[in-house]
Amino acid sequence: MRVAGVPVGVDAWVKTFVAKKARSVITDVTKLDVVSDGLLHNQLLNFCQNACMAFLGRNTPTPLLSEFMM
């Protein structure tokens, strides 16, 4: 179950959910390579992609995230 975008439930399911989110963020980051302006590229990473993983990092128990946040 997701509550306000945060995975809640069995540890295995939470790890799978976070892994899928991390893969989708990695896929989306590679799509930003077409942006040639360095400042714009950095702002897109900080305000779009970094925000997703930061939200999960703040709201998901640390032991379940440790393998994804290295």
Phi first, then psi, for residue 5 (nearest 5°) are 85, 0
- What pLDDT, on the 0 to 100 scale, is given for residue 70? 56
- What pLDDT, on the 0 to 100 scale, is given for residue 69? 61
CA distances in angstroms from 59 to 14, 46, 64, 69, listed in the order given: 12, 18, 11, 14
Q: Which residues of the chain have pLDDT under 70?
A: 1-5, 62, 64-70
